[in-house]
Amino acid sequence: MNIKNVMINLKNQLLNDTDIQALVGDKVYISRNIIDDIQAHNVPIINIEFDSLDITSADNQNLSDFERHSYDINIQFAISNKDREEVIVGDNMLLDFYESIYRAIKADPTLDGTVDKFIKTPSLATDIFAPTQENIMFIAGGEMSLTFNKDVFIK
């Protein structure tokens, strides 16, 4: 059990969601520099980033036999629209994008058994990138922060 499996299974779960697939196709990545994609207007896009791993004692377990792995993951996403307001609140725009990602994760919070659960309701941070002169499009970016837990037998 490791972070690689968590990230791959999260990516696959997002790719297999019909709403996400309709929105981004196969543009779900792990550890990609999406700033380049945003500058090239290669959106919508999703990127999964590993943030940190905390290892602590597992609750309600014999402490000598188990440890809890807490994986902090950030999901970055971006979408574009010609209207500044619409890119955030319009149909199938940033806030709907966030909801689709959240629903896809809640559909199987264990990521096909890779983790026990996700424990933190995802937070959302957003930003709007100004349009370029060549292509008058506003790009809205968001980032969700999630924590997944797995109790690991260590003997």
The CATH number for 103's domain is 3.30.70.1700
Task: Read off the pTM.
Answer: 0.89
Residue 51 has pLDDT above 90, yes or no: yes
Q: Which residues touch 151 (CB under 8 Å, ≥6 apart)?
A: 58, 61, 66, 67, 68, 69, 116
pLDDT in tens, 120-148: 777 888 888 766 666 678 889 999 999 99
pLDDT in tens, 75-109: 999 999 988 899 999 998 999 999 999 999 999 99
Number of domains making up the chain: 1
d(CA 84, CA 2): 40
Please name which of 147, 72, 154, 145 lies closest in space to residue 117, comparing C-alpha atoms.
147
What would the two tokens of residue 144 be? 């969700």
**Residue-range definition of the domain harbouring residue 149:** 3-153
Cα 29–33–117 angle (5° rounding)?
A: 45
